[in-house]
Structure 1
Amino acid sequence: MAGLYINQHVLNNLFYILVGVFAFSFIYDHSAAIRRRLLYSRVLLGACLTLAAVLCMKFPIYIDPACVHDFRQVPFLLGTLYGGSAVGAVLLTMLMLARTILYGFQPLTLIVYAIMLAAAAVVSPLFRRLPRPSKLFTALGLTFLLAVLTTFVAVVIADFQVTKPYIIYFILMPPFVMMFAVYLMETLHEAQLARAELMKMEKMEIVSQLAASISHEIRNPLTVVKGFIQLLQTGPLPRETEERYIRIALEELERAEAIIRDYLTFAKPAPKETEPIDVAIQLQKVLQMIAPMAHMHSVSLSSSLDHGIVIGNVQYFQQCFLNLFKNSIEAMPNGGTLRVTAEHRGTAVVITVSDNGVGMTKEQVRRFGEPYFSTKEKGTGLGAMVAVKIIEQMGGTWNIESAVQKGTTLTITLPASRVKPPTAERSVAG
């Protein structure tokens, strides 16, 4: 018996309602502007559910000379309950306009849906505050009561003939369809809230871990500085000893400053000031900056740099490769060679940084660039983390090949640009 009434037209009407609900949820979830403005969200809700209601009317379940049967009351009540009287009024206007265009104007239809609007608008403020189980039963009960009430009004006013299809499609089925639609709305909304809460928790976890790491790493050099200052206060010391203590204290303060600088680079938003960068010129400048450190570690520098243009922030570009070059030099405690190459390959600029240092295990390679992970005994991992972030901000990719006691090769691929840098400087010492 049920199969006679649950047919393709019923399923089509249900599909139109689901499309309206999913369309609202998808657009709402992906638009920050709509989420911030209540007016925008109500306009979106009204538009999506108007579409669903009009489709239900356009492709009805059953038509007889007296009445067109479909599930248009479901999106109508759904919009009024969630959006209030304003959304309900818009839905009523659009429903009557569509009804008039499709089948002609019917005063009884206007009376029926005006009664539904008034009742649903009164219930709406309370409905929105209810927990999900209560919303489901409220939606079911309200839809059923309104169907019975409006049917009674229609019989009294217009001597409306109540047929079996009318009872099935207007009184009995819509409450359950309405309950299902509310369940879907609530489930999608809870999923959005859960995802937002998860993202917030992840951000807080990162901040807390980063803060703990920074405080730990800064505490170490400050403890050293404090100790040497206390030694300097103990009494007269040889001039050479005082200078050594002061030099060590200054080095530790510089280390603390470097940790803070790396953290700020990682934490602050990507710079808006971007420009064409000639990678050969900028990499050569970084190699010149790092040369004293390389000399102190008995590391020789070798470079083969082709001119290629990328778009980015010059300061961040230099800091990225300064961090990577420092990591490579520190990976060669017994000396070695740092090789840097840059090649322009079609639509990309490929930069390789290789050393013949201590290398990394597969696990260390996998964790390269993670917060708080470092292969160095006193490292924070911030240098690599900052470098990786800058590469990704420039739209680039990176890949590491490494073997223990053989060395490491880092390959960075950045999108090339045809825009020329403002400077005419083109000479590079290779």
Structure 2
Amino acid sequence: MGTYINQNLLNNLFYILSSMFVYYFIYDHGKWWKTNTRHKQLLLIICTGVPLLLCMKFPIYIAYNCVHDLRQIPFLIGTLYGGWTVGSALLLILLAVRFFFYGFQPITVAVYFTMFIIAALASPAFRRLNRTDKLFASMWLTLLLDILVTVIAVVFFDFQVIDSYIFDFILVPPFAMLFIVYILETLKDAIIMRSKLVKIEKMEIVSQLAASISHEVRNPLTVVRGFLQLMKSQPMPKETQERYMHIALEEIDRAETIINNYLTFAKPTPKKEEVLIVGQELERVAHLLQPFARMNGVHLIEKCQPCMIIGNAEYFRQCFLNLVKNSIEATPIGGTVTVSCSCKGEEVIVAIADTGIGMTAEQISRFGEPYFSTKEKGTGLGAMVAVKLIETMNGTWKIDSKIQKGTTITITFPSATTRG
């Protein structure tokens, strides 16, 4: 066996394998090769022609009337994958180089012309096969062609078959073809799969964006509905009605702002930062959500110390509207949601505590993921946007929760004095 497997044989295999990797590397990174079939065929001719030349230049052995190497493998690969056009170009290259290096031999013309005709005829059917069928088809086709051309050489040219010829020309090429076609199909599938993944990711982004817009617009609409139901369910002074109408109109304007500027929310970059009085902002959020809390039979309590941070007011309200609304929805009738803020050194701590259903450790770890929610019909997008906005304002967050006892979300911001 050692006399058959030598350095030249391994070199021939290396030339072929390297060229196949180069082919897909160039094809994957160059748009020009993908523009039309001719360009792809040209690349295939180059990447199978080069190892063909190298195999002939550095053969396994040279015997009388037979310069033996593995040129048939890139020749068959190019013909099977490229059809008549690529095969005919490779045949011309092969014959020209063979005659230039070693002179004219009729046996060479007969052997490779036979291989070319059969492989080119089989090419359309071969390319339609699935991956597994291609592997076995390439192996058996190569074996049958090797046997056929050997019979032609023996019958018509009185060719002498020796042991090394049987091993290197009949036994090795079918298994080499199997291995190389496997690599080619794997690389092709990887490129196709990556292309599909890019498309899926783009569709996922569009889907998330659409769902997020729907989710965020629903918050102000919920507030408007709450005020309208209050106005309809009980008589109230005109001043109160006007105040409720004013708040409802503000929420409709906010919904319009969300729709017009949601791309900014998708990648938050505050256009305007200012000193925010946290207590006032949270009081506003609690006031907006009081009707929603009453509708759900939940007591909403707000208590804050005088604290200040630097941030974007619209983002701050949007963030805590999402978080407080989620807490209300997670709290059963008669429960309590408490929103508080306090100053601790150079930090401002905001806590949202509820007496709701609580969260498991897994649910806490997945908090903020899109499309993950503890609610039956939730999307998880409110928490996702809230987490993103907290990070945008240089804040951190943590969750403490116990099943059927409640959840506390603690958000920490640097105080305005720290950043000043």
Query: TM-score, normalised to structure 1's length?
Result: 0.65
1:257 paired to 2:260: no
SS of residue matched to 2:263: helix
Q: Contact 2:350–2:411 (CA<8 Å) still a contact in 1?
A: yes
Show the 5 A alignment for 1:108-119.
108-119=107-118
Which residue among 272, 282, 285 is the counterpart of 1:286? 272
Deviation readout 1:110-146 (Å, 9 max, x if unpaired): 3422221221111111111112332222212221222
Partner Cα distance (1:100, 1:293) in 2: 89
Partner Cα distance (1:107, 1:217) in 2: 79
Cα pair distance change 1:223/1:267, threshold 3 Å? closer
Q: Contact 1:225–1:252 (CA<8 Å) still a contact in 2?
A: yes
Residue of structure 2 in register with 1:154 after alignment = 153
Q: Contact 1:402–1:409 (CA<8 Å) still a contact in 2?
A: no
Residue of structure 1 in register with 2:95 after alignment = 96
Q: Contact 1:324–1:384 (CA<8 Å) still a contact in 2?
A: no
Q: Contact 1:373–1:380 (CA<8 Å) still a contact in 2?
A: no
> What amino acid does structure 1 have at the position aligned with 2:180?
A
1:382 paired to 2:385: yes
Residue of structure 1 in register with 2:127 after alignment = 128
Q: Contact 1:210–1:371 (CA<8 Å) still a contact in 2?
A: no
Residue of structure 2 in register with 1:57 after alignment = 56
Q: Contact 2:111–2:149 (CA<8 Å) still a contact in 1?
A: yes
How far 1:6 moved relative to its partner? 1.8
How far 1:384 moved relative to its partner? 6.1
Partner Cα distance (1:110, 1:409) in 2: 82
Which residue among 350, 353, 368 is the counterpart of 1:358? 350
1:165 paired to 2:164: yes
How far 1:215 moved relative to its partner? 2.7
Q: Contact 2:319–2:386 (CA<8 Å) still a contact in 1?
A: no
SS of residue matched to 2:24: helix
Cα pair distance change 1:243/1:93, threshold 3 Å? farther
Cα pair distance change 1:36/1:260, threshold 3 Å? farther
Partner Cα distance (1:26, 1:323) in 2: 50
Q: Contact 1:45–1:83 (CA<8 Å) still a contact in 2?
A: yes
How far 1:18 moved relative to its partner? 1.2
Q: Which runs of 5+ in 1 are unaligned?
A: 269-281, 303-320, 338-353, 392-397, 411-429
1:224 paired to 2:210: no
Query: TM-score, normalised to structure 2's length?
Result: 0.66
Residue of structure 2 in register with 1:16 after alignment = 15
> What amino acid does structure 1 have at the position aligned with 2:80?
L
Show the 5 A alignment for 1:305-320.
none
Q: Contact 2:19–2:47 (CA<8 Å) still a contact in 1?
A: yes
Cα pair distance change 1:324/1:235, threshold 3 Å? closer
Residue of structure 2 in register with 1:39 after alignment = 38
Partner Cα distance (1:152, 1:250) in 2: 91
Cα pair distance change 1:252/1:328, threshold 3 Å? closer
Partner Cα distance (2:101, 2:135) in 1: 32
Partner Cα distance (1:324, 1:35) in 2: 47
Deviation readout 1:273-332 (Å, 9 max, x if unpaired): xxxxxxxxx99x823xx4587794466577xxxxxxxxxxxxxxxxxx748974899699
Q: Contact 1:401–1:409 (CA<8 Å) still a contact in 2?
A: no
1:144 paired to 2:136: no
How far 1:69 moved relative to its partner? 0.7
Residue of structure 2 in register with 1:341 after alignment = none
SS of residue matched to 1:286: coil
1:73 paired to 2:72: yes
> What amino acid does structure 2 have at the position aligned with 1:66?
N
Q: Contact 2:23–2:43 (CA<8 Å) still a contact in 1?
A: yes
Residue of structure 2 in register with 1:5 after alignment = 4
Q: Contact 1:46–1:79 (CA<8 Å) still a contact in 2?
A: yes
> What amino acid does structure 1 have at the position aligned with 2:86?
V
Task: Pick the structure with greater CA Rg.
Answer: 2
Show the 5 A alignment for 1:281-430.
286-287=272-273, 290=274, 296-297=280-281, 300=308, 322=312, 326=316, 334=341, 356-358=348-350, 371=370, 379-382=382-385, 385=388, 407-408=412-413
Partner Cα distance (2:108, 2:144) in 1: 17
1:83 paired to 2:75: no
How far 1:250 moved relative to its partner? 2.0
How far 1:68 moved relative to its partner? 1.0
How far 1:50 moved relative to its partner? 1.6
Q: Contact 2:309–2:414 (CA<8 Å) still a contact in 1?
A: no
How far 1:24 moved relative to its partner? 1.9
Moved more, 293-302 or 242-251: 293-302
> What amino acid does structure 2 have at the position aligned with 1:10?
L
> What amino acid does structure 2 have at the position aligned with 1:28?
Y
% identical aligned pairs: 49
Moved more, 107-116 or 44-53: 107-116
How far 1:259 moved relative to its partner? 3.7
Cα pair distance change 1:32/1:371, threshold 3 Å? farther
Cα pair distance change 1:373/1:159, threshold 3 Å? closer
Q: Contact 2:224–2:252 (CA<8 Å) still a contact in 1?
A: yes
> What amino acid does structure 2 have at the position aligned with 1:48?
C
